[in-house]
Amino acid sequence: MNAHLIRHHCRTQLARLVVIVACIVSSLSASAQQQQRQRSRGQVNPDDKTTGFKENPRMLAAFNEVVAAPSRSVVRVRCDGKDVALGTVVGADGWIITKYSELTAGVAPIVVMKDGRTLLAKVIGVENRYDLAMLKVDTKNLIPVQWGESKAAIVGELLASPGVGVEPVAVGVLSVAARAVKSRDLGHPPPPANAGYLGVGLDEGEGGARVAEVMVNSAADKAGLRVNDVVTLIADTPIIDSETMVNTIRNHRPGDAVPIKVMREGKELDLKATLGKRPPDPGLLRREYQNHLGSALSERRTGFPQILQHDMILRPDNCGGPVVDLDGKAIGINIARAGRVESYAIPAEAVRALIDDLKSGKLTAATTQPTSSTTKPAPTTTMPAK
Amino acid sequence: MRLRLSLLCLPLLLTSLVWAQTAALKPTPTTRPVLLKPSPDNLADLRALQTQVEAVVSKVTPAVVGLRVERGQGSGVIISDDGYVLTAGHVASKPNIDVRVVLADGKTVRGKTLGVNHAIDSGLIKITDPPPGGGKWPFVQMGFSGQLYKAQWCIALGHPGGFKLGRSAPLRLGRILDTRGTFIRTDCTLVGGDSGGPLFDLDGKVVGIHSRIGSTVNDNLHVPVDTFRDTWERLAKGEEWGEPMFRAKPYFGIEEDDMATNCRIGDVFPGSPAEKAGLTTGDVITSFGGQKVENFSALVLLLAGRKVGEEVTVQILRDDKPITVKVVIAARPR
C-alpha cells in the first residue's frame, strides 16, 4: 500500500478491516513452493501447457539469440563461496557494476568470468540509493555491455536477463516504462510510526490538495474538514498538491494541533486539527505474504530513485546483470525482485550517469549511506495495497 | 441464451470509430500463425509477439481503472462508452454503494456498484459522473472466455498495490494454463490491488477479471468474462447473490482511543462482540487470548489470527482494576 492509500486507510476500527485482496486458495507455504519451483526448473516439459511460459525450456531457448552477445558482458559475483549476484561489465579494463546490498560486508567479492577465470574484485564505489557497487578486477580486454535507451523502451517490449550461460536467467515483458519513483509510490518505506495522522483521502485540487474523503471520527472529521475542501496551508507550509500535504502531515506528531487553511465554495476558512495516530495496518502482513507467494524477493527492494518495472521472475542472486531488449541492448541493470508481480531495473541512463563517479571512488558506502552507518541493506518494507 | 444475445448489445453498440480500432488490434496474417504456435521458435517470432502485445497494451490501457470502494482498493475495466465497469465481486462488495473510479490519467470520477455475484466473484459498477466534454468513456470490448484454449497468449493489467500516480497499470504477459466455466488460470502474476482488473486476449478483448491467487506464480485465477454476459441483467439491476468464496473476517467491534499509547477503547460498536461482553469506552485491554496486548496494533494482529465463532479470554483494566471477560469473535458485518 502506498502512502496515498495509507491516507485512505481506515481509522482504526476493527469493524472496518476491509481488505480487498486476492484470496489465498492454497495453504502451501511460499518457501516450500519456491523450493519446489526451483527444483522443478529445467524439468518442465516443453509441451506442458499447465506451467508458465517463463519456465518453459523451449520459450527460454527462443531467447538464446537475444542474449548471445550481452551474456559475454555478464559475470557471476560470489562472496564467501556463495553466488550472490550477477555483474555487468561496463569497462574493458576490469570495471563491473553489480547490486551492492547483495555483497557480504567486509568480504572481497570474487568474480567468475564466462571463460571460467576466477578473479578477486575490489569494491571501488558504492551508490546506496540505487544500490549499485562498482567492482574492479585486474584484467583487460573485457567486453563492455552495449547500452540501449530505457527512454525509448515501451510497455509490452519483450525483455531478457542474460546470465553467464547460453539461456537467459529470466524472460518477460516491460510492465511500466522507466519512471522516477515518488515518495508516495511503491518502493519507499512507510511513514514513521510516530507520524501524525489526519484521516483524509486526497486528490489534486486547484491551488492545493482537494479532500476526496474524510474518515469517520478522524482528526480531519473532528476538525470539520469536508469533502471538496481544498487545503492550501498547514501550519506554515503552503500546500501545493497532495504530496506536499502528505509530507507535511507526516512531519507532525500525534497530538499536535495544526492550523489548516482551506478553500470551501470560494471562501477561505481556518480550521484546527489535533492529529491522531496512524491506524495499524493489518493488511500489511497479508500483502507481504501475498508478495512473497511463489518467488523469493530481494532483501533490498525499495528506495531506488528511478526504476523500470518488468514481470520477469528474477531470482534475487541474479540481480546486478543487465536487462536487454530483443536487440540485445541493455536498457537497465536488474536491481530487485520486488514483489510477486514485479522486478525492478535501474534505467540505463541513470546507471551510465553514475559510472564515472563510481569509478573515481568519489561515491563510497560512507558518502552515500543516507541514514545508517552500517553496511546493512536499507529497510525492505514493501507497501502494496489491499 | 437469447437473453445473452440481447445483452451483448451493450458492448456491440459501438461507433464505427471503435470498430476501426478493434480491427487494428487484429494480428496481421503474418503474426496470427506465430501467436498460434505453442511457443516462439526464434527472434522473428518474438518480434511478432512483441509487436502484437505492444499494440494491444496501448489500445486497452485507457480503459483500465483503479477502484476505491469503502476502505478497499481494487481494479476494473470500462466496457461501454456510457461507463459500465467490470470488476471482481469482492471489490464491488455489495450493490448500491459509492465508488471512486480512478481513470488511467489519475482523474477520479464517481460511480455506484450494481450487481454482485459472490459465488463466482463478479461485480458490476456504473460510472455516474458524465464523461468530460459530453464525450464517451474509453472502453474495451468483451471477448468470449468460452473460446479460450490452453497456451493461448494473454495479458493482465490492473493496479497492484492500488492506483499510483505516475505509474501506468503494470503489464503482465502470460498464457492460459487452464480454462473452465468458473475460472481461468494463467501465469500472468497477480497480487492484492489487481482484483477486478482485466485479462485480455491478444485481440485486445477482455476475457477475464482478476480474482484470486495461489501459492505459485502460475496460480493466478480470473473470473471468465462469459459469466458477466450470462448474468448481465441481474448485475445491471443491482442484484446480489451467491455465497461469498472469501472467508468472513474476524470482528471484535471496538475503536481505539486515538490519544492513548496503550490499548484503551475509544468506542464500542452496537451489537458487537465487545459490547456483548460488556466492554465500554475507557477500558484498557491488556491481554487477548492469553497474549499480552501493549497497544491497539498488537490487538489487531492478534484478532486477525482468530476465527469467527471462537471464544477468547480478554483481560482489561477498568478504573485500574483488572477484569476478565470472554468474547465470542463474530464475522465482520458486510
Three-state helix/strand/coil letters over chain A: CCHHHHHHCCCCEHHHCCCCCCCECCCCCHHHHHHHHHHHCCCCCCCCCCCCHHHCHHHHHHCHHHHCCHHHHEEEEEECCEEEEEEEEEECCCEEEEEHHHCCCCCCCEEECCCCCEEEEEEEEEECCCCEEEEEECCCCCCCCCECCCCCCCCCCEEEEECCCCCEEEEEEEEEEEEECCCCCCCCCCCCCCCEECCEEEEEECCEEEEEEECCCCHHHHHCCCCCCEEEEECCEECCCHHHHHHHHHCCCCCCEEEEEEEECCEEEEEEEECEECCCCCHHHHHHHHHHCCCCCCCCCCCCCEEEEECCCCCHHHCCCEEECCCCCEEEEEEEEEECCEEEEEEHHHHHHHHHHHHHCCCCHHHHCCCCCCCCCCCCCCCCCC
The interface residues of chain A toward chain B in range 365-384, judged by CB-CB distance below 8 A, are 383-384
What is the residue range of B324's domain? 250-331
Q: Do A326 and B50 touch (CB under 8 A)?
A: yes
Task: Report d(CA B143, CA B205) in Å as an integer.
Answer: 5
**Structural domain includes residue B33:** no
Amino acid identity at B71: R
**Structural domain includes residue B235:** no
Give pLDDT, residue B70. Answer: 80
Give pLDDT, residue A367. Answer: 57
What does the pLDDT look like over B7-57, one tens digit per residue?
332 322 233 334 434 445 888 888 888 999 888 999 999 999 999 999 999
Give pLDDT, residue B77. Answer: 98
CB neighbours of A121 closer than 8 A, spacing ≥ 6? A77, A96, A108, A109, A110, A111, A135, A136, A137
What does the pLDDT look like over B152-164, one tens digit per residue?
999 999 999 889 8
Task: Report d(CA B25, CA B151) in Å as an integer.
Answer: 20
Cell of A325: 531488449
Cell of A40: 522443478
User: Is B222 part of the annotated catalytic residue set?
Assistant: no
Residue A15 has its nearest CB partner, among B178, B192, B253, at: B253
B2, pLDDT greater than 50? no
Residue-averaged pLDDT of chain A: 81
Q: What residues does each domain of chain A span?
A: 192-277
Give pLDDT, residue B245. Answer: 66
The interface residues of chain A toward chain B in range 239-258, judged by CB-CB distance below 8 A, are 254-255
Task: Report d(CA A119, CA A14) in Å as an integer.
Answer: 57
User: How many domains is chain B partitioned into structurally?
Assistant: 1
- A16 touches B: beta carbon within 8 Å: yes
A298, pLDDT greater than 90? yes
Cell of B153: 497468449
Tally Cβ neighbours within 10 Å of residue B141. Answer: 22
Q: How far is CA B291 from CA B296, B299, B305, in A?
A: 13, 9, 12
Task: Report d(CA B326, CA B231) in Å as an integer.
Answer: 45
- B303 touches A: beta carbon within 8 Å: yes
Determine the 3-state secondary structure of B138 from DSSP.
coil
CA distance, residue B267 to nearest chain A CA (Å): 9
**Structural domain includes residue B287:** yes
Amino acid identity at A255: G
Q: Given pLDDT bands bounded at 50, 70 and 90, which one contains residue A205?
A: confident
Residue B296 has its nearest CB partner, among A27, A186, A280, at: A280
Give pLDDT, residue A241. Answer: 86
What value of ipTM does the predicted structure carry? Answer: 0.73
Cβ(A279)–Cβ(A15) below 8 Å: no
Task: Report d(CA B187, CA B101) in Å as an integer.
Answer: 27
**Structural domain includes residue B312:** yes
CA distance, residue A381 to nearest chain B CA (Å): 13
**Structural domain includes residue B291:** yes
Q: Can you tell me which residue has the cell 543487465?
A: A322
CB neighbours of B48 closer than 8 A, spacing ≥ 6? B30, B31, B34, B35, B40
- How large is the C-alpha radius of gyration of chain A? 24
Determine the 3-state secondary structure of B34 from DSSP.
helix
B103, pLDDT greater than 80? yes
- B222 touches A: beta carbon within 8 Å: no
- Which of A341, A344, A383 has the most B C-beta neighbours within 10 Å, making it the best mutation to test the interface with B? A341
Query: What secondary structure letter does DSSP report for B148?
Result: -
Q: Do B167 and A176 touch (CB under 8 A)?
A: yes
User: Is B90 part of the annotated catalytic residue set?
Assistant: yes
Contacts of B296 in chain A (CB under 8 A): 12, 279-280
- Using CB atoms within 10 Å of the CB of residue B210, give its burial: 0 to 12 exposed, 13 to 18 middle, 19+ buried: buried
Average pLDDT over residues A360-371: 64
Give pLDDT, residue B22. Answer: 45
The interface residues of chain B toward chain A in range 228-287, judged by CB-CB distance below 8 A, are 245-247, 249, 251-256, 258-259, 266-267, 269, 272
Query: What secondary structure letter does DSSP report for B190?
Result: -
Task: Report d(CA A280, CA A297) in Å as an integer.
Answer: 24
- Which of A2, A6, A20, A56 has the most B C-beta neighbours within 10 Å, making it the best mutation to test the interface with B? A20
User: Is B267 part of the annotated catalytic residue set?
Assistant: no
Q: Does domain A192-277 have CATH number 2.30.42.10?
A: yes
What does the pLDDT look like over B258-294, one tens digit per residue?
888 899 998 888 788 998 899 999 999 999 998 899 8
B198, pLDDT greater than 90? yes
Cβ(B99)–Cβ(B110) below 8 Å: yes
Sign of CA dihedral A224, A230, A233, A239: positive
Task: Report d(CA B139, CA B85) in Å as an integer.
Answer: 9
What does the pLDDT look like over B220-245, one tens digit per residue?
999 999 999 999 999 999 999 998 76
Cell of A350: 541513470
**Structural domain includes residue B255:** yes
**Structural domain includes residue B52:** no
Give pLDDT, residue A232. Answer: 95
What's the CATH number where B274 sits?
A: 2.30.42.10
| CA-wise closest residue to A10 among A238, A217, A300, A237 | A217
List A136's β-bridge partners, or say none.
A95, A122
Q: At what angle are helices B16-25 and B43-60 packed, to 10 degrees?
A: 160
How many beta-carbon pairs below 8 A join chains A and B? Answer: 305
Task: Report d(CA A312, CA A341) in Å as an integer.
Answer: 8
Q: Given pLDDT bands bounded at 50, 70 and 90, which one contains residue A282?
A: low
Give pLDDT, residue A51. Answer: 80
- Catalytic residue chosen out of the listed positions B75, B81, B118, B121: B121
Q: Given pLDDT bands bounded at 50, 70 and 90, which one contains residue B255?
A: confident
